[in-house]
Structure 1
Amino acid sequence: MGVKIITDSTSYIPKELIEKYDISVISLSIAIENDTFREVDMNNEEFYKKMDKSDTIPISSQPSVDEIYKVFEKHVKENNDIVGIFISSKMSGTFSTACLVKNMILENYPESKIEILDSKSASMQLAFAVITAAKVAYDGNALGEVVQAVQKNQERSRILFAPDTLKYLKKGGRIGGASALIGSLLQIKPILTVVEGKVEVLHKVRAKKRAIQTMLNILFEDVKKYGFGEVTILHINCQETAKKMLDMVKKRFGMKVKICDISPVIGIHVGPGAFGIAYYTKDELKTRV
C-alpha cells in the first residue's frame, strides 16, 4: 500500500520520471481537421507542422469519465491512496471530471482515500507539482504529507511565456486578463504568466530580445530573493531561442537546465513561436504579478 500520483498529459513529464515514480498519466486529446489524437501518442514536431498547414485551429478535449475511472479504480483495488494533480480548472474540465470520478469511486470503494488538486497551471509548472508529489510518495510518506508538499511547491513556482501572437489564446478563450492587449499588438511582445489558473499580463515589451531578457531578469530577481529550486526552458518550434535562454541561465547559475517542448494541448492555445520559462524557488514567492 502506498500513495500513487495521477496527472494528465499537459504536465509533459519526461518518460524516465514517469517510469521511475510510477506516475499515471491520463491523456487529453486533440482534433485537427478530420483526425483525433491522444496527446501522449503525438510527435510534437509533426503535430506543429500539421497545425501550421491547417486552415483551422485544432480543438482539445478532456479525458472521458470512463478513462479516468479505470485509472483510479486500478490503484484503489491495489489498496493504494491517490493524489491526482491536474491542469488548471480554468483551462480545462479535466479537474472537474476527476472530482466527479472521485465521488463515484468513493461510492463503490468507501474506504479509499483520494485527494484531487487543482494545479492552477499547466505544462512544466504542473509537472513540478506532480514530480514533487511523486518523490515524496516514493519515499514512503503518507497522503497528507504528499498533498502538503504539492501545496508548498505551488507557492514557490512560476511560469512566464511570450506568444508570437495572441490569436490562439483569444480563439481558445484562455486569455484571461491578457484580453486588454487585443488590438494593440502590432509591435508589442507580451510576457504572460498564470495567476490562480488564468493567463495574465506581466509585462509588455517591444522586441523578442527584450522579452527574453525581461523573463530572465524576473527569474534572477526571484532566485536572489527566494533561492533556487529548478528551472526549465519552454518553447514551440524555436529551439534557437530556447538554447539562448538556456545558455544565459547556465552562465548565471552554473547548473544543468532543461529544455522542454510545449505540449500540443497547451500549444494550440499558445501558438507556434512561443517561448518561456518555468521554475520554482527554495522559499515561497511573495509576488506573482
Structure 2
Amino acid sequence: MPTGTGRTVVVTDSTASLPAEVVAERGIVVVPLQVVIGAEVHDEGEGGATPEMVAAALKSFTPVSTSRPSPGVMAEVYERAAAEGATEIVSVHISGDMSGTFESAQLAARSAPVPVVTVDSRQVGVATGYAALAAADVADAGGSASDAADAARARAEASSSLFYVDTLEYLRRGGRIGAAAALLGGALAVKPLLTIADGRVESLERVRTSSRAISRLEELAVEAAGERPVDVCVAHLASADRAAALTGRLAERLADRLEGRDVWCGELGAVLGAHVGPGMLAVCVAPRPS
C-alpha cells in the first residue's frame, strides 16, 4: 500500500490497463470487471479472461459481453483496504458513460468504513490508469483523498485517447459507439479514427485505408504531446506487429518529451477488447503532472 502519512489508498478497475508490476510497486488496488464468453463468466486479468480469448471468440462469432463489479464487490474492496490500514480511499474508474463501474463505486462508498472519494475519469484504458497513478503520487506524498482525486481528474482531463478500429461493428454491438454512430452509414468505405470526448466515443477523422489511418494516428499522437513532458502508451488487440512498429516510431519522435521513459506497449484488456474488436490500435498521450 502507499505509505503516505494519511494512509490514502488508491483503488481503480481492471480497464485501467496498468502493468502488474506498476500496480504492485505503487500499492494500487485493482478491481476486476467481468467478461462473459458464451455462457462462461471470467474476471478480467491474470488467471481470468485474456485478450487472446476475447479476440478468438469475436472472430468465431461467439457471443461476448462485459459486466461491471457489483456494489457489493466494491464494498468488500473498501472494507478490506480499511482493515489493512487505509484511513481514506480514492477510487478512480472508467467513464461512467461507458460502464456502470463508477456507479457501483459510488453506491459502495456510502457504507464504507472509511471516507471514499470516487472519481469518474471520463476516460478509458490507460488514460484512467495514468489518472490513478497521479492520485497515487499525491497519496504517496501524504496528500488527502480529496487532493488525490483532484490530481486524478486533472490528469484524465489533460490526456488524449486516440484509436483506430478495423470496423465499428463491435462498438455498435456493445452500444458504446456514442457520437461516432454517424459513421456507420459509410463504415465500409472508411477506416475511422476515434477519440474519447467527455467520456464518450466520438469520431475524429475518416481515412480510406488502414495504413493511412495508422500513419494519421501517429501524427495525432505527436500533435497531442505538444512540447510538454508526457507519458505515452500504445495498446492493441490482435495486432502486435503494427503496435510494436508504432511504439518504435513514437519513442523516436517523442524522445525529448518522454525524458528517458519508455513508451508502454501492450495488448488491450479483455473488457475493452470485447468492444473494439481485433485489429484495434490505440495511443494514449498523458501530460506529466507539473
TM-score calculated relative to the size of structure 2: 0.90
Contact 1:136 1:146 in 2 (8 A): yes
Aligned to 1:287: none
Aligned to 1:59: 65
Aligned to 1:141: 143
Equivalent in 260, 273, 282 of residue 266 of structure 2: 260
Equivalent in 194, 199, 202 of residue 201 of structure 2: 199
Q: Where does structure 1 differ by over 3 angstroms across 4 or more consecutive aligned residues?
A: none
Provide the identity percentage.
30
Alignment of 1:111-150 (within 5 A): 112-150=114-152
> Is 1:14 aligned with 2:22?
no
| Aligned partner of residue 91 in structure 1, secondary structure | coil
CA distance in 2, matches of 1:197, 1:81: 26
CA distance in 1, matches of 2:179, 2:236: 22
CA distance in 1, matches of 2:38, 2:144: 45
CA distance in 2, matches of 1:46, 1:170: 20
CA distance in 2, matches of 1:239, 1:21: 27
Aligned to 1:30: 35
CA distance in 2, matches of 1:209, 1:48: 21
| Aligned partner of residue 164 in structure 1, secondary structure | coil
Unpaired runs of 5+ residues, structure 2, are 1-5
Alignment of 1:33-182 (within 5 A): 33-40=38-45, 41-53=48-60, 55-77=61-83, 78-105=85-112, 109=113, 112-182=114-184
Aligned to 1:2: 7
Contact 2:15 2:272 in 1 (8 A): yes
Aligned to 2:191: 189
Contact 1:162 1:274 in 2 (8 A): yes
Task: Assess, with a 3 A threshold, how the Cα gap between structure 1 residues 272 and 155 changes in structure 2: closer, same or farther.
Answer: same
TM-score calculated relative to the size of structure 1: 0.91
CA distance in 2, matches of 1:203, 1:124: 22
RMSD: 1.7
| Aligned partner of residue 278 in structure 1, secondary structure | strand
Per-residue CA distance 1:258-288 (angstroms, 9 max, x = gap): 102111111111111111201112589xxxx
| Aligned partner of residue 231 in structure 1, secondary structure | strand
Amino acid at match of 2:133: I
CA distance in 1, matches of 2:121, 2:38: 30
| Aligned partner of residue 186 in structure 2, secondary structure | coil
Range 263-272 or range 205-214, more displaced: 205-214
Amino acid at match of 2:271: V
Amino acid at match of 2:279: G
Contact 2:123 2:156 in 1 (8 A): no
Task: Assess, with a 3 A threshold, how the Cα gap between structure 1 residues 186 and 7 changes in structure 2: closer, same or farther.
Answer: same
Alignment of 1:266-277 (within 5 A): 266-277=272-283
Task: Assess, with a 3 A threshold, how the Cα gap between structure 1 residues 283 and 227 changes in structure 2: closer, same or farther.
Answer: farther
Per-residue CA distance 1:149-176 (angstroms, 9 max, x = gap): 1122123201100111101101110000
Amino acid at match of 1:57: P
CA distance in 1, matches of 2:43, 2:108: 20
CA distance in 1, matches of 2:28, 2:144: 16
Unpaired runs of 5+ residues, structure 1, are 285-289
Contact 1:230 1:279 in 2 (8 A): yes
CA distance in 2, matches of 1:79, 1:243: 39
Contact 2:222 2:254 in 1 (8 A): no
Contact 2:134 2:152 in 1 (8 A): yes
Amino acid at match of 1:118: D
Aligned to 2:232: 231
